[in-house]
Amino acid sequence: MTAASYRSSLDVAAIGNGRVAALIDKGGRIVWWCFPRLDGDPIFCRLLAGDEEKGFCDVVLDGQVSATSAYIRNTCILETILVSESGAAVKITDFAPRFWRFDRSFHPTQLMRRIEPLRGLPRVTVRVRPTHSYGQVAPSASHGSNHIRYICGTTAVRVTTDIPVSYIVHETTFALTHPTTLVIGSDEPIDSSMDALSREFLERTRDFWVAWVRGLAVSYEWQPEIIRAAILLKLCTFEETGAITAALTTSIPEAPNTPRTWDYRFCWLRDAYFVIRALNRLGATQSMENYLDYITTIVGDGKSPLKPLYGIVHNDTTAERIAPDLKGFQGMGPVRLGNLASDQLQHDAYGSVILGATHMFIDQRLPRMGDVSLFRELEALGEQARHLYLEPDAGIWEYRGRQRIHTHSATMCWVACDRLARIAQLLGLGDRASYWTASAEKIRGEILSRAWSEKRGAFTGAFDHQELDASVLLLADLGFLPPNDPRFVKTCTTIGRELMRNGLMLRYAAEDDFGLPESAFLACQFWYIDALASIGRADEARELFVELLKHRNSFGMLSEDLHPATGQLWGNLPQTYSMAGLINSAMTLSRKWEEAWTTSGAAYHDSRSSNGQAHGEHDARVGVGGLDING
């Protein structure tokens, strides 16, 4: 079967609360939910179960003919409407409780599902089929008058409900005559009225998200798209530690029938720059501050070399293994738990951490600024960067079968030294500023002499090699070269000519450990868009950006990859890289508020008609600028 024959079917919505998150398909089936935290055992694993009907929770309406889903505007509360051939209709409202309670954040390990009759006399079956240990069916359950207790390995999961428990246990069809509720989560009793509880938690959760969105500083154009991306970025945050996972899932393949299946429920240090930049530009200072806390905890954890990625609790193990009881997304295994990349050498990590931490020295909105003590800790990372930049590593794309002196890794080592010089200058440490400036210039000279290829007319992916790599599109964004440098301009032209497939950007085109790459990497598409804008090709950049927005799923979500032949989403989702890239590109390309309102009286209506609205919700209006470290 050809790639074009496959549809990725990643049309799912995400709900969550900073501790747990779930994915729900367009029919209202919960197909993915890790418990008791973002990187936990998937109690609902249907997304990766192949053709096995296990690991899900759904509502089956007798005679169903349609299902429609949409978010409540500016929230991650999902409403699904099921309609039967007789006209009977049911509304399912899914959310994870999230609000302030007793002067602290309340975000329990719970999902709430409210099921209401809308018209007629709908007959429904509620099915709850949890798993444990990555795909094993829960072997036993006990139940009381209003709850079911599932034994999931060493963990117990409780479903508390005002539906007759026997109807759920035996999957019996019943007439839905009044609103009912399911609370799925920790094995703790709930004493209050289920109806009153779900209505209160729903209202307070909605208020939380609406207030959070109200505080975002978004651009004039593409507001609904930015808001949805920001919410999805926040759903990937584990708020206890501040870690932000690369995605909520594991092992969704990068392309049809490829063994490129990875576990992304970890925090990659290189994401720090892109995520913090997006959060900063949005004015989401609390989320940014929490992430900075996570990064600085790692910095202060000792003198050992940095790993490329860490667990959401940073010292958790990330060893890679295969889950034998899950067949994989559409049967395309293997399903991997953990990530071998945690043991690789990836020297860009040093620059990524320092670049992210630089905000603590310049962003006056933060309640706790960086000081000389933090600078000294960062200097230890800088010393490693200045000693490692000429050492081969696995690179940004985590090659498993070879090592080279990768241009991006060396550039990030330059970034480490360059930003330390800037911080030292801010702190009045003239001798240290001179030291780090000299270190940065030495690295810069090596990159310019060994990464530039006259033959290719571009900076290449590795020193003394001719293969192209889209990561060099970041050279101007990182401040290594001005955008108008002829070498950077030529690089953009060459990369666009050689790595684009059907208007979509590959990471690289050369064969790697798994053969020739098949899919386009969405982060690279955003880097290319930003690079084009920086060199004066803004109209072309806007066209590519608007076209890329069309590839989001029905709920405004992007995964990691797009298949150039089919335009279908592949890879783990929601992908932090992709959502941060969307935010950063939109903020870069958007017309300024003042410009939009002064150039034409019809500008607002033009903007609405050209942007469209977010999938399944109305557009929004928010705004104020943010601080950009490279601005």
The dihedral built from the CA positions of residue 106, 111, 116 and 118, taken in this order, carries a sign that is: positive
Confidence band (pLDDT; 50, 70, 90) for 607?
very low
β-bridge partners, 321: 337
Question: In 3-state terms, the chain is what percent helix, strand and coil (to 5)?
Answer: 35, 20, 45
Whole-angstrom CA distances from 116 to 30, 77, 122, 272, 607 are 17, 15, 10, 42, 37
Euclidean distance between CA atoms 399 and 403, whole angstroms: 7
Per-residue pLDDT, 276: 87
Q: Which of 321, 349, 316, 343 is nearest to 261 (CA)?
A: 321
| Angular region, 60: left φ>0, alpha ψ -120 to 50, beta rest | beta
Of the candidate ranges 61-65, 126-130, 351-355, 363-367, the one whose mean pLDDT is the lowest: 363-367
pTM for this prediction: 0.93
Q: How many residues does the chain have?
A: 631
Is 506 a residue whose pLDDT tops 70?
Answer: yes
Per-residue pLDDT, 594: 76
Confidence band (pLDDT; 50, 70, 90) for 315?
confident
Whole-angstrom CA distances from 266 to 243, 263, 315, 487 are 8, 8, 11, 36
> pLDDT tens for residues 516-559?
889 999 999 999 999 999 999 999 999 999 999 999 999 999 99
Euclidean distance between CA atoms 374 and 200, whole angstroms: 44
CB of 291 closer than 8 Å to CB of 272: yes
Q: Which of 15, 37, 46, 44 is nearest to 330 (CA)?
A: 46
Is 618 a residue whose pLDDT tops 50?
Answer: no
Q: What is the percentage of the chain residues whose pLDDT exceeds 70?
A: 93
Is 604 a residue whose pLDDT tops 60?
Answer: no
Q: Which of 467, 438, 464 is nearest to 449 (CA)?
A: 464
Asked: is 220-236+456-607 a CATH 1.50.10.10 domain? The reply is: yes
**428 phi, psi to nearest 5 deg:** 75, 25
> pLDDT tens for residues 84-109?
999 999 999 999 999 988 878 899 99
Whole-angstrom CA distances from 460 to 348, 361, 406, 471, 488 are 16, 33, 9, 9, 11
Q: What is the mean pLDDT of the chain?
A: 91
